[in-house]
Amino acid sequence: MGLDWDKVREEAAQILSDYIKVDTTNPPGKEMAGVRYLQGILEREGFPTIVLESQPDRGNLICPMKGTDGLSPLILLHHIDVVPAEAEKWMHPPYSGLVVNREIWGRGAQDCKSLGVIELVAFLLLKREGFRPKRDILYMAAADEETGGKWGVGWLFQNHPEMMKAEYVINEGGGVGMIIGKRNVYTCQTAEKGICWLKLTFRGKPGHGSVPHDDNCIEKMARAIERISSYRSPLRRTLTTENFIKGIAEEQNFPRSFLMKQLLYPFFSKSVEKRIPDPGLRGMVGAILRNTFVPTVVQGGQKTNVIPSECSCQVDCRILPGVEPEMIKAEVRNLLFGIKDYEVEILQTSAASESPTDNAFYRILENTLKRLDPKAKMIPAMLSGATDSRFFRSKGTAAYGFQPMAPMDNLSEYLSRVHGHDERISAESLLFGTRVLYEMLKDFCG
């Protein structure tokens, strides 16, 4: 007798609603409350759990389903922490877990407590039917992803590396379904950009605000910010980006199919990018074709009538595979040619990372998707931000962002809610992701 998927939908929605009610905003995190919530569900189903506390109230959870053949494990990963929410700007309270019109509302509904619930429910369904995998499957819930992973996956690799060994990881960052032409095109995150955060410090002559002069550090910084804000780094092609753009182009009619491919050529790229109708897709394409530079933090004088001797701005730079921090510093210096008395400091870096698409695991993800959605097409995608996948990829583990969601025709609306207001996910997307993951685990691990 088959599963009652209506009941599965209801169970998943209720678990997510209750999970959202557990406030794990980072900072400060306090992920241990989320760990205890998940641990309670798993232990009631008969699973052993391992809880690893990296700091007071900062918890990580690992739950194994033991395999029979000694094959390298598969990890189902998500992070427990969520970013802060401006409650007064939400339609419904961000930690209410309210279900309205078959949508579950709240911070973490998209990023990424819903993934944790999809992985959890698929895990439970396999256990309930007595499934015996050939390889270990590890359910893993980590702390601190939203502020870099220091007390989460990064800490686990440093302190419990034996538990982090795996052949494959499923994590956040992919699975978005887009209706393009007659197909439902789903992304699989196989790559993500790296970080190169910069601090630019400008110096000048101090003085009284009532006496202007031509060596004002604030004026230098203003000119620099204007140049950086309007700058577009040269186009840089990667294999992931090529496959992503060509995969979308193939589903469109001429001349759009032809024009879409011109995004990969420097002479045409900018004008074609401007003509992409969906703002979400347009922004995504722009971010993965080049390094990006965004001024985010400014620090200047202390008093209105005092010209300071020093000021600074910080720049969030995201870098493509093959780009080194020193290359970024050189690019900034060229951009700011003519501006004097400043220095560029690298605050934080992490390398861009990629996983292969020419293996059995990737093909099973794709085939499972197509079996459950005959209109489905899966394409590799690069994430403009960073996730915990980078820790695994640096150790040789193939990690994929894969949370299939019901296809949509307005990508920008979905993307605006990640870290934004009114974050929510439909119960149908929750169920679809659960079904795909459940079927995939049976195929790949059975």
- Residue 386's contacts (CB-CB under 8 Å, 6 or more residues apart) are 192, 193, 194, 195, 350
DSSP secondary structure string, 389-421? HHHHHTTT-EEEE------BS-HHHHHHHTTSS
- Residue 103's contacts (CB-CB under 8 Å, 6 or more residues apart) are 424, 425, 426, 427
pLDDT tens-digit map of 352-366: 999 999 999 999 999
Domain extent listing, the chain: 5-189+353-445, 192-350
Fold of 5-189+353-445: Aminopeptidase (3.40.630)
Alpha carbon separation from 74 to 307, 342, 371, 416, 434 (Å, rounded): 58, 48, 22, 31, 16
* Helices and strands in the chain: count of H runs, count of E runs: 14, 19
* pLDDT per residue rounded down to tens, the chain (446 residues): 689 999 999 999 999 999 999 999 999 999 999 999 999 999 999 999 999 999 999 999 999 999 999 999 999 999 999 999 999 999 999 999 999 999 999 999 999 999 999 999 999 999 999 999 999 999 999 999 999 999 999 999 999 999 999 999 999 999 999 999 899 999 999 999 999 999 999 999 999 999 999 999 999 999 999 999 999 999 999 999 999 999 999 999 999 999 999 999 999 999 999 999 888 889 889 999 999 999 999 999 999 999 999 999 999 999 999 999 999 999 999 999 999 999 999 999 999 999 999 999 999 999 999 999 999 999 999 999 899 999 999 999 999 999 999 898 778 888 889 999 999 999 999 999 999 999 999 999 99
pLDDT tens-digit map of 118-143: 999 999 999 999 999 999 999 999 99
Q: What is the CATH number of domain 192-350?
A: 3.30.70.360
At residue 333's C-alpha, the angle toward residues 332 and 336, to 5°, is 85
pLDDT tens-digit map of 166-201: 999 999 999 999 999 899 999 999 999 999 999 999
- Residue 122's contacts (CB-CB under 8 Å, 6 or more residues apart) are 76, 434, 437, 438, 441
